[in-house]
Amino acid sequence: MSFELPQLPYSHDALEPHIDTKTMQIHHGKHHAGYTAKLNAAVDGTDLAGKSIEEILGSLDMSNGALRNNGGGYYNHCLFWEVMGPDGGGQPGGDLGAAIDSAYGNFEGFKEAFAKAAATQFGSGWAWLCVHPGGKVEVCQTANQDNPLMPGITCGGTPILGIDVWEHAYYLNYQNRRPDYVEAFFSVINWSEVARRYEAGK
């Protein structure tokens, strides 16, 4: 097997009440596990075996639905679990905080832009905060399991924060109230991990 389902860095109930236990169990144990298995099926026995997920996505043939959907789903969820945590919330400081202030005026400006990207993504998809070489940050959105590492995705950059706005990510607890889920997400963001990714990607 080329790729393995990562263990959650916290318990299934650790993000309560913002993200409920049942959603976490299904989302990680069923959805992410499914993307992992299907990614391996698409990669094993090909010249992609042994390559990192970043290498695979960066040189992806976007007409290859199995790799596009399952490779994206694998990578996106790996990031998603890491940028959340039970001690999350608040605001970033340091260089990341300065970059956000530079791009969006202040944290509230960023929060508004990120929440709008998440709330207005039509159908299933993701909203991202990405870093470009040099340290500039950008909020963008992608459909389905696409992400900014893939060829032709216009927002570009390296994703350092992402929110899953597929219905399976929130519907048990929030039903059709996606904006409420997005607001709750800000209470579980692990800004230390996002800052680490910012430093690595700039």
Q: Are 137 and 130 in contact (CB under 8 A)?
A: yes
- Any binding-site annotation on 47? no
Q: Does 168 appear as a known binding residue?
A: yes
Name, in order, each residue with C-beta under 8 angstroms of 160's C-beta and a sequence gap of 6 or more: 83, 129, 130, 131, 137, 194, 197, 198, 201
What is the amino acid identity at position 143?
A
3-class secondary-structure state, position 83? coil
132 marked as part of a ligand binding site:
no
Annotated binding site for Mn(2+): 27, 77, 164, 168
Annotated binding site: 27, 77, 164, 168
